[in-house]
């Protein structure tokens, strides 16, 4: 991210992660060696700048039966 900020002069302000399940496309099914039909998890990560414009975007497609998103967080008592 720092490289993108240095090159563009723009600064990251916040990020948004989105996750959604859907059926795999034919291409994804072949690449991931899935039976058809098969569900996949689509995970999108977008970083926005101070003007609310996208600065960085990444998308990943995950096959079923794989743990793909993991987050540890404290439990307040």
Q: How is the chain split into domains, by residue range?
A: 2-62
- For residue 23, give both structure tokens: 């059926």
Check pLDDT > 80 for residue 25.
Answer: yes
Confidence of residue 41 (pLDDT cuts 50, 70, 90): very high
User: Residue 55 has what pLDDT?
Assistant: 95
Domain made up of 2-62: CATH architecture? 3-Layer(aba) Sandwich (3.40)
Q: What are phi and psi of 2, to 5 degrees?
A: -60, -35
Q: What is the DSSP string of 47-76?
A: EEETTS-EEEEEEEEE-TT--------PPP
Global pTM reads: 0.78
Cis upstream peptide for 34 (omega within 30°): no
Least confident of 10-19, 39-48, 67-76: 67-76
């Amino acid at each position: 991210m720092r490289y993108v900020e240095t090159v563009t002069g723009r600064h990251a302000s916040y990020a948004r992660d989105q996750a959604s399940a859907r059926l795999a496309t034919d291409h994804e099914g072949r690449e991931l060696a899935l039976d058809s039909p098969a569900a996949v998890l689509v995970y999108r990560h977008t970083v926005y700048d101070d003007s609310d414009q996208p600065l960085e975007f990444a998308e990943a497609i995950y096959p079923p039966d794989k743990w793909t998103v993991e987050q540890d967080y404290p439990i307040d008592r």
